[in-house]
């Protein structure tokens, strides 16, 4: 497809760089660029990309696919300094696109799904670099519609406009880095870099160099001077993940930077002023760490200006279906199959404790996209850990469920409560039987205990007559199977009675 003359003249860009390790795909992108009357320059190696950035005649557009062995921290700094005004298009995997966004800032990056049409690419290249208010409002927030996530989103938007330090708390896998990125992208610093570092993944003796940089020869292996994360993040946001794992000596040095906004490179005593926003995160209880003497109280109060608590997935299970759709879309964008779960499978997953939280769910959806391509995923397709036998016995999965996952659990509980109420009313309104008390004894009776004994004995008789099969016993008692399972739990009869089924 060729653009008409008016469209072609509206493009002010004459050349574009295509940075992609997939040479076949890069050639197809080049064909689209030629249809836009743009000259493509294909690059497939990080060293060539660095050389291109350093040339006097910088290209006015950059398209990025998937690249291997690329240091986006270093390359991103060069892109921001030398190519600060050019539009950037990411058309590769989501992981590379996210690294690119972190390196140069979300307002400059336009994400397209390959293959794309010339008109779509032309529009992306004409879009201005400055973020509009609409773009700010469309910042990627944590996925979900639960009250807990709505509160998180509200807090992110409230604090984003200010430079206050933010401390994000929550279990591992709850999405603390995603929340930190959202704060940055919704802030006035969004056009500057977002730099993340995991304080728990870097040895204590190397963390100082990673944060503050070092001079050549300052220690063994320092063959050249290197900027630290504070310098790379200048003007933007520095995300200190797992701050609770930072050693006490490093906590002292970090506290000085937060107080004075000045640091020194390793091997150099010249102070360097910095202008970065600090967002920290941890899965640890820092107040307990303070009590144990492993975390400085003064640093805690410097970081804890604006705390945000990320809720565990098990406490917002109503977001499960939305999260599944979100992860499924990401898999499609990365070239894997779409994942569609049946209502039965969603119901089973909604009862999982999710110790790994949203990260664990994302890993599961990616696994299912590989194992179950182009078909619905049912309960039998789930890994065994997500469908334990006692849970399957407890849930009634024989019906064709069509309810959304957020209503399944509450509706199940309501149905079971209604069944129990009906049963009690039936007992009260029925004609007296030989098992019932015809007349009230002179000293009265504990009605609750009496009914408890009658109910337990009848259930035991039904199980004996049904040969221990819970489903058959439930039919004899005119109960739902799930209601009988709950009663077996109440009477501590579940393991004994339903061993063959569980």
Highest mean pLDDT among 136-145, 362-371, 427-436, 463-472: 362-371
Quick: pLDDT tens for 88-147: 888 888 888 888 877 777 767 888 888 888 887 877 776 544 444 445 556 788 999 999
Determine the pLDDT at residue 180: 96
Q: For residues 369 and 339, is the Cβ–Cβ distance under 8 A?
A: yes
Determine the pLDDT at residue 358: 96
For 205, the 3-state DSSP assignment is: helix
Checking if the pLDDT of 477 tops 50, the result is yes
Quick: pLDDT tens for 146-187: 999 999 999 999 999 888 999 999 999 999 999 999 999 988
Q: For residues 347 and 406, is the Cβ–Cβ distance under 8 A?
A: no
- Give the residue-averaged pLDDT of 251-260: 93
- Give the residue-averaged pLDDT of 218-240: 86
| Mean pLDDT over the full length of the chain | 80
- Give the residue-averaged pLDDT of 218-237: 84
Q: If we measure between CA atoms, which residue out of 387, 482, 476 comes closest to residue 468?
A: 476
From residue 178, give the alpha-carbon distance in Å to each of 132, 139, 271: 21, 11, 32
Checking if the pLDDT of 368 tops 50, the result is yes
Determine the pLDDT at residue 76: 75
Determine the pLDDT at residue 472: 80
Checking if the pLDDT of 249 tops 90, the result is yes
The least confident of 35-49, 194-208, 233-247, 430-444 is: 430-444
For 113, the 3-state DSSP assignment is: coil
Provide the whole-model pTM.
Answer: 0.57
- Give the residue-averaged pLDDT of 197-216: 89
Q: If we measure between CA atoms, which residue out of 205, 180, 209 comes closest to residue 194?
A: 180
Q: Could you tell me how far CA 502 lies from the centroid of its own chain?
A: 34
Beta-bridge partner residues of 376: 340
Q: For residues 65 and 22, is the Cβ–Cβ distance under 8 A?
A: yes
Determine the pLDDT at residue 295: 96
Checking if the pLDDT of 206 tops 80, the result is yes
User: 142: which DSSP letter?
Assistant: P
Determine the pLDDT at residue 174: 96
Q: How far apart are CA 408 and CA 410, in angstroms?
A: 6
Checking if the pLDDT of 210 tops 70, the result is yes
pLDDT over 70 percentage in the chain: 81
Determine the pLDDT at residue 348: 93
Quick: pLDDT tens for 480-489: 777 787 788 7
Quick: pLDDT tens for 37-85: 778 888 888 778 877 776 666 666 788 888 877 777 777 777 766 665 6
Determine the pLDDT at residue 111: 83
Determine the pLDDT at residue 420: 52
Checking if the pLDDT of 12 tops 50, the result is no
Checking if the pLDDT of 423 tops 90, the result is no
């Amino acid at each position: 497809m060729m653009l008409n003359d008016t469209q072609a003249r509206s493009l002010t860009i004459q050349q574009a760089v295509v940075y992609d390790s997939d040479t076949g795909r890069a050639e197809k992108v080049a064909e689209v660029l030629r249809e836009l009357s743009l000259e493509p320059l294909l690059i497939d190696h990080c060293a060539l990309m660095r050389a291109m950035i350093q040339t006097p005649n910088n290209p006015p557009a950059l398209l990025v696919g998937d690249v291997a062995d690329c240091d986006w921290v270093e390359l991103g700094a060069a892109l921001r300094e030398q190519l600060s005004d050019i539009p950037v298009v990411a058309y590769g995997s989501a992981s590379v696109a996210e690294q690119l966004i972190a390196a140069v800032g979300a307002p400059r990056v336009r994400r397209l799904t390959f293959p794309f049409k010339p008109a779509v690419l032309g529009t992306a290249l004409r879009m201005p670099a400055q973020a509009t208010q609409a773009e700010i409002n469309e910042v990627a927030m944590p996925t979900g519609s639960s009250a807990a996530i709505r509160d998180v989103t509200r807090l992110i938007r409230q604090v984003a406009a200010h430079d206050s330090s933010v401390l994000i708390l929550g279990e591992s896998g709850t999405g603390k880095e995603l929340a930190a990125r959202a704060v940055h992208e919704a802030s006035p610093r969004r056009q500057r870099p977002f730099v993340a570092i995991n304080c728990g993944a870097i040895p204590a003796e190397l963390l100082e160099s990673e944060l503050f940089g070092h001079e050549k020869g300052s220690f063994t292996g320092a063959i050249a001077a290197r900027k630290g994360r504070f310098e790379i993040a200048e003007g933007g946001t520095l995300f200190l993940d797992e701050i609770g794992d930072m050693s006490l000596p490093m906590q002292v040095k970090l506290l000085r930077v937060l107080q004075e906004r000045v640091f020194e490179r390793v091997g150099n005593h010249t102070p360097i002023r910095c202008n970065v926003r600090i967002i920290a995160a941890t899965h640890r209880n820092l107040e307990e760490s303070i009590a144990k003497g492993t975390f400085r109280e003064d640093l805690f109060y410097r970081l804890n200006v604006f705390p945000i608590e990320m809720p565990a997935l098990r406490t917002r299970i109503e977001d499960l279906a939305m999260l599944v759709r979100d992860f499924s879309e990401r898999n499609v964008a990365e070239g894997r199959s779409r994942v569609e779960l049946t209502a039965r499978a969603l119901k089973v997953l909604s009862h999982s404790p999710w110790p790994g939280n949203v990260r664990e769910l994302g890993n599961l959806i990616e696994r299912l996209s590989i194992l179950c391509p182009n078909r619905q995923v049912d309960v039998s397709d789930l890994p065994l850990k997500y469908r334990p036998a006692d849970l399957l016995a407890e849930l009634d999965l024989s019906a064709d469920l069509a309810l959304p996952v957020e209503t399944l659990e509450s509706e199940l509980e309501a149905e079971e409560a209604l069944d129990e109420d009906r049963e009690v009313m039936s007992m009260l309104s029925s004609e007296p039987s030989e098992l019932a008390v015809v007349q009230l004894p002179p000293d009265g009776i504990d009605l609750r205990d009496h009914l408890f004994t009658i109910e337990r004995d009848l259930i035991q008789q039904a199980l004996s007559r049904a040969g221990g099969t819970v489903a058959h016993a439930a039919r004899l008692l005119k109960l739902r199977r799930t209601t009988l399972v709950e009663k077996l739990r109440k009477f501590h009869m579940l393991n004994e009675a339903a061993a063959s089924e569980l």
